[in-house]
């Protein structure tokens, strides 16, 4: 039944948004983590979302009656990428982690961007919860038909 697939779709979206919130939290928590080695300095992380494709009959092939002939069903996370943005170099010659020129490498986390990302993720999460509740009440109502 079409309505039952929506629980999977909304679930996958909520998982994805949850992971996005997690990376945001990690980025914000590590916004000021310095390291003595420039290669080991924390870099901002972001998940990569992709539409989940349906296995069978997604593109043009004959499909079973009642199945959604939609090409995709929910979201998958393809992976988490580290930002390539340049690290923030701050001149702090008395810092124990400073290099020979007196610079300390700070993570390339953009705090403003992360906050905006956090709000976007939590709104999307809310929207999916709302959707799930609506579909649940639709299904419940459907069960009482004819009574």
Partner 1 sequence: MKIDFDAALGIHPAALMLRARRTEVLANNIANADTPNFKARDIDFKAALAAQLQGADSPGRIHATHARHIAEAPAGAAGSELKYRNPLLPSLDGNTVDGHVEQAEFANNTLHFMASMRFLDGKFKGLMTAIKGE
Residues forming the site for partner 1 (CB under 8 A):
1-3, 5-6, 9-10, 12-13, 16-17, 20, 48-51, 60, 62-66, 68-75, 120-121, 123-124, 127-128, 131, 134-135, 138, 141-142, 145-146
User: How far apart (Å, rounded) are the C-alpha atoms in residues 76 and 128?
Assistant: 15
Look at residues 46, 45, 64, 44 and name the one whose alpha carbon lies nearest to residue 55.
64
Closer residue to partner 1, CB minimum distance, 34 or 75: 75
Say if residues 122 and 21 touch (Cβ distance below 8 Å). yes
Q: How far is the CB of 6 from partner 1 (least distance, A)?
A: 4
User: How far apart (Å, rounded) are the C-alpha atoms in residues 129 and 55?
Assistant: 26
- Whole-number Cα distances in Å, 134 to 14, 44, 63, 127, 129: 15, 36, 28, 11, 9
Closer residue to partner 1, CB minimum distance, 37 or 59: 59
Closer residue to partner 1, CB minimum distance, 111 or 138: 138
Q: How far is the CB of 124 from partner 1 (least distance, A)?
A: 6
Closer residue to partner 1, CB minimum distance, 59 or 94: 59
1-36 in b/e burial notation, b at 16+ Cβ within 10 A? eeeebbeebbebbbbbbeebbebbebbbebbeebee
Closer residue to partner 1, CB minimum distance, 87 or 135: 135
């Amino acid at each position: 039944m079409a309505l039952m697939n929506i629980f999977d779709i909304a679930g996958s979206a909520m998982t994805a948004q949850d992971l996005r919130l997690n990376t945001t939290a990690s980025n914000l928590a590590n916004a000021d983590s310095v390291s003595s080695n420039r290669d080991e300095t924390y870099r901002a992380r972001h998940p990569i979302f992709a539409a989940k494709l349906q296995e069978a009959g997604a593109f043009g092939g004959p499909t079973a009656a009642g199945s959604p002939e939609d090409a995709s069903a929910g979201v998958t996370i393809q992976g988490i990428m580290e930002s390539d943005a340049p690290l923030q170099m701050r001149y702090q010659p008395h810092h124990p982690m400073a290099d020979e020129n007196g610079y300390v490498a700070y993570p390339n986390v953009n705090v403003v961007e992360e906050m905006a990302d956090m709000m976007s993720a939590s709104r999307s999460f809310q929207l999916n919860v709302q959707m799930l509740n609506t579909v649940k009440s639709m299904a419940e109502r459907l069960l009482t038909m004819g009574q």
